Structure 1
Amino acid sequence: MPPPPATSNSRLVWSIALPAMLTNVATALFGLADMWVIGRLGDASAQGAVELGAKFMLALLNTFNFLRTGTIALTAQAAGRGSEADRAQTLVRALGASFLIAALLLLAKPFAIAFGLDLLEAGDAVADEARTYIGIRYWAGVAWLVNAVLVGWLIGQRRVRTVLAVEVAANVVHIGLDVLFVLSFGWGVAGVAAATLVSEGLKFAVLALLVLRLPAARGLREAAVERATWQASRMRELFSLNRDLFFRTLLLSGAMLIFARSGAQQGAVVLAANGILFQLFMLATLALDGFENAAQVLVGEAQGARSRERFAAILKSTLAWGFGLGVVLALAYLVAGEAIARSFSTDEAVSNLAAEYVGWVVLLPLVGSFSFVLDGVFVGAAWTRAMLLTMLAAIAVYVGILWAGSPLTNTGLWIAFVTFFVVRAAAQFAVLPRLVRREFG
């Protein structure tokens, strides 16, 4: 099948990328709302505790983000083969994995929280508040794991607008609860965590109802008891894909934790300022991830259909549009980044430091756009082992810079963080031609 015209490719990419982008930005509002609301208290320790607690939960849960990305890839490949039964089986297997992981995380809860806080080396005041935050938000992790599967299954079938509607509704509830619990009830850090717990539970309820109404979900009961669902070959496909994604995400989460830990070692003001900037970076990242989602779905369909022409067309379109959005985001932060950063805290020392370092947030969308899009390409094509190896190379350089410059100033920390994304993209581009030849001949 010949590739469609470039205009068709762009329209197809944007039909998935735009609602995915808006969904991701809506997701980022969780963190932004938390930082803004707690910042109204003018307490650097409380704001630092939310930043540290959120980093801990982000690192812990994102380690299992393969539930979402793997489900997108396998569902899209099943759609490319035109198999509704495969889609139902994919959902059942992924849900089974999410329930198992949730049970293990709950068993590990007392040890995980203590270990995480020790690892991050938070000061006493920050650590006490962070422990409160994590202790409440940890329970939301169960719903988060199942939601990752449900969202991935919907996106893999191009139902991105449905996911967007759910995310927007959950965020409206979350922001309202943030204001109510923190500013009206005076619950402080505990109120921020409680808002997340309630909104994540709401999201689960709505997603489950929507999924059960889809035609492909009608075979879930049969798929759950069908022997073919649990065949060794199908389970190996799931676990080999998810194993590589697990370790890749573990490395990425480690990089984020190292970043937070290095900020915490420099005091509550640096920790809080870096937390504000990191939320702005995450907002840009989640916008760019719209094209990662588009690449996952469309490359997965091309791989399922064994079409090199479709693959090449989607690769070119997603990379071009991803970099274009990176430029737009960089310009937006160049113009308004300082004012935005200052608005997140009434503590003058925190807001001044955040404004001083906002230039790094301007740079990150430019250097990171390629690696974000290529992540989607590699996942959609099931090249997860190569993605893991390129992540290892980037982590090695990142840790090497941190070790060579120890003890680092905050500027050195940001230099290492930016270099991490540059190396990731360079390594992915280096291995891409060989992977294409191997897959499509």
Structure 2
Amino acid sequence: MTLAYLTTPLLGIIDTAVVGQLGNAALLGGLAAGAIVFDVVFNTFNSLRSSTTGLVAQAHGRDDAQEERSILIRSLAVSAGVGGVLILLAAGIAALGVWFINPEPAVAEAMRVYIGIRMLAAPLTLMNFSILGYVLGRGEGRLGLCLQVVLNGSNIALSILLGLVLGWGLEGVAWGTVGGELVGILAGGAILARRFGKTPRPALSRIFDMAAMLRMLALNRDIMVRSFALLAAFALFTRQGAQLGTLTLAANAVLLNFLLVAGYFLDGFATAAEQLAGRAIGARYAPAFRKAVWLTALWGFALAAGATAIFLVFGETFVAFVTTAPGVREVASAYLPWAAFIAISGVLAFEMDGIFIGATWSRDMRNMMLLSFAAYIACLFWLGAAFGNHGLWAALHIFLIVRGLSLAAILPKRARAAFA
């Protein structure tokens, strides 16, 4: 899954390169601004993937294949419904995005065009989240990788074909995304149809059981609140950095890529934790749960330590590669150690998120996120006022550490109750 997650930034790089070949700064700005809007929208509804993974993993642990299939169908139904609503709201979402970002008129127009086309893929995108959640819940990481490669690979190929070869430009890149999501659905659907072809179908009364539907919606609600708080934390970090000047803002943006890169690797272990913990909870087998916690913690910290060492050794080279501005390089170098150690500060939070999602303890995850966010806001303004950008980075580290430790503190109690 680490390899699968790494295909996502590659897609963004290719889309940017395709539009960049057109030589129109407004189109490139529209793509970048529109991508921000979709990051917010789809990161919010990525809860559909997480909740499906946890629920399927538990059903898999109980060896309840009928419930696994029922969960998938429920998730697909919710995804299609939410995606349809997003299509209807596309114009309003584009207007809200233009208002918030406040770009120049040409950029705003390109942004509206891009959002209007790409939002047509909303149901497909969310349904692909559901299929990926089902696959990961069963621990089929290789299949998940294949599906992501097919989806993102076809997206890249179609964006190049439509955007450059056929000359559709920005519209071609947007339609390429729609086509890529469609190919992903067809590939995933074909695999699932073959898998389910000879098995009995679950009854409709079981699929649309009200208690099961409400549980799924509650999980999605809690994970969405957690995602909103996480997005808000990084938005506030960026905003406070902007108050310290353009150079500081630009340097922080460069250094946050360290967390982005580390996050793609740590997310792989978080996904493993989701499946292993959920399976153990479903089977009501405490030794497997304890082993999942310790193994993902051990490997997560080992990987985080390795990433930190690489960032410390090659960080200056990375900064020089990302930006040629001497002022930005100088400021980024001053805060490089803060960014290098962000993987170690965040690894426990990543792992605990995976454990709690797999166990479907979403209310605890939501509450501890809100607690951590409150501590973060207090530290951000207090330490920021006292120590400037050093204070902002310290607050970000505290946020990640409090998230991990607060969840780890209540883990034993939740585990005892689950396996009583």
State the TM-score, normalizing by the size of structure 1.
0.81
Equivalence for 1:112 = 93
Deviation at 1:228, TM superposition (A): 1.9
Q: Is the CA contact (8 Å cut-off) linking 1:75 and 1:156 kept in structure 2?
A: yes
> What CA distance in whole angstroms lies between the structure 1 residues aligned with 2:320 and 2:162?
23
Q: Is the CA contact (8 Å cut-off) linking 1:28 and 1:282 kept in structure 2?
A: no
Equivalence for 1:293 = 271
> What CA distance in whole angstroms lies between the structure 2 residues aligned with 1:238 and 1:336?
44
Equivalence for 2:129 = 148
Deviation at 1:390, TM superposition (A): 0.8
Deviation at 1:86, TM superposition (A): 0.8
> What CA distance in whole angstroms lies between the structure 1 residues aligned with 2:363 and 2:52?
17
Give the share of equivalent positions with the same residue, in percent.
34
> Cα–Cα, structure 1 residues 380 and 252, in superposed 2: closer, same or farther, change >3 Å?
same
Q: Does 1:424 align with 2:399?
A: no
Q: Is the CA contact (8 Å cut-off) linking 1:120 and 1:264 kept in structure 2?
A: no
> What CA distance in whole angstroms lies between the structure 2 residues aligned with 1:176 and 1:358?
36
Instruction: Describe how 1:73-152 pairs up with structure 2 within 5 A.
Output: 73-120=54-101, 127=108, 129-152=110-133
Q: Is the CA contact (8 Å cut-off) linking 1:44 and 1:272 kept in structure 2?
A: no
Equivalence for 2:6 = 25
- Look up the SS of the partner of 1:139 in the other structure: helix
Q: Does 1:397 align with 2:378?
A: no
Bigger Cα displacement from structure 2, 25-34 vs 354-363 = 354-363
The alignment yields a C-alpha RMSD, in angstroms, of 3.6
Deviation at 1:42, TM superposition (A): 9.2
- Look up the SS of the partner of 1:82 in the other structure: coil
Q: Does 1:440 align with 2:419?
A: yes
Deviation at 1:314, TM superposition (A): 1.0
- Look up the SS of the partner of 2:151 in the other structure: helix
> Cα–Cα, structure 1 residues 31 and 273, in superposed 2: closer, same or farther, change >3 Å?
farther
Q: Does 1:378 align with 2:359?
A: no
- Look up the SS of the partner of 2:45 in the other structure: coil
Equivalence for 1:317 = 295
Q: Is the CA contact (8 Å cut-off) linking 1:137 and 1:197 kept in structure 2?
A: yes
Q: Does 1:53 align with 2:26?
A: no
Q: Which runs of 5+ in 2 are unaligned?
A: none
Instruction: Describe how 1:175-190 pairs up with structure 2 within 5 A.
Output: 175-176=156-157
1:301-350 CA deviation, whole Å, 9 max, x = no partner? 11111122211111011111111111122222333344344445677877
Equivalence for 1:11 = none
> Cα–Cα, structure 1 residues 169 and 233, in superposed 2: closer, same or farther, change >3 Å?
closer
Equivalence for 1:302 = 280
1:219-269 CA deviation, whole Å, 9 max, x = no partner? 4xx33x521222222222222222212222222233344455567788988
Bigger RCO (CA 8 Å, 6+ sep): 1
Deviation at 1:374, TM superposition (A): 0.6
Q: Is the CA contact (8 Å cut-off) linking 1:119 and 1:261 kept in structure 2?
A: no
Bigger Cα displacement from structure 2, 251-260 vs 368-377 = 251-260
> What CA distance in whole angstroms lies between the structure 1 residues aligned with 2:333 and 2:115?
28
Q: Is the CA contact (8 Å cut-off) linking 1:121 and 1:264 kept in structure 2?
A: no
Q: Is the CA contact (8 Å cut-off) linking 1:51 and 1:271 kept in structure 2?
A: no
> Cα–Cα, structure 1 residues 249 and 189, in superposed 2: closer, same or farther, change >3 Å?
same
1:424 counterpart letter in structure 2: R
- Please, which of 303, 310, 334 is the counterpart of residue 332 of structure 1? 310
> Cα–Cα, structure 1 residues 332 and 58, in superposed 2: closer, same or farther, change >3 Å?
same
Bigger Cα displacement from structure 2, 115-124 vs 347-356 = 347-356
> What CA distance in whole angstroms lies between the structure 2 residues aligned with 1:354 and 1:173?
36
> Cα–Cα, structure 1 residues 207 and 46, in superposed 2: closer, same or farther, change >3 Å?
same
Bigger Cα displacement from structure 2, 270-279 vs 311-320 = 270-279
Q: Is the CA contact (8 Å cut-off) linking 2:84 and 2:122 kept in structure 1?
A: no
Q: Does 1:161 align with 2:116?
A: no
1:340-382 CA deviation, whole Å, 9 max, x = no partner? 4444567787777767765544222111111111101001111
> Cα–Cα, structure 1 residues 185 and 353, in superposed 2: closer, same or farther, change >3 Å?
farther
Equivalence for 1:9 = none
1:166 counterpart letter in structure 2: L
> Cα–Cα, structure 1 residues 430 and 291, in superposed 2: closer, same or farther, change >3 Å?
same
- Look up the SS of the partner of 1:214 in the other structure: helix
1:73 counterpart letter in structure 2: G
Q: Is the CA contact (8 Å cut-off) linking 1:181 and 1:187 kept in structure 2?
A: yes
> What CA distance in whole angstroms lies between the structure 2 residues aligned with 1:301 and 1:51?
39
Bigger Cα displacement from structure 2, 275-284 vs 148-157 = 275-284
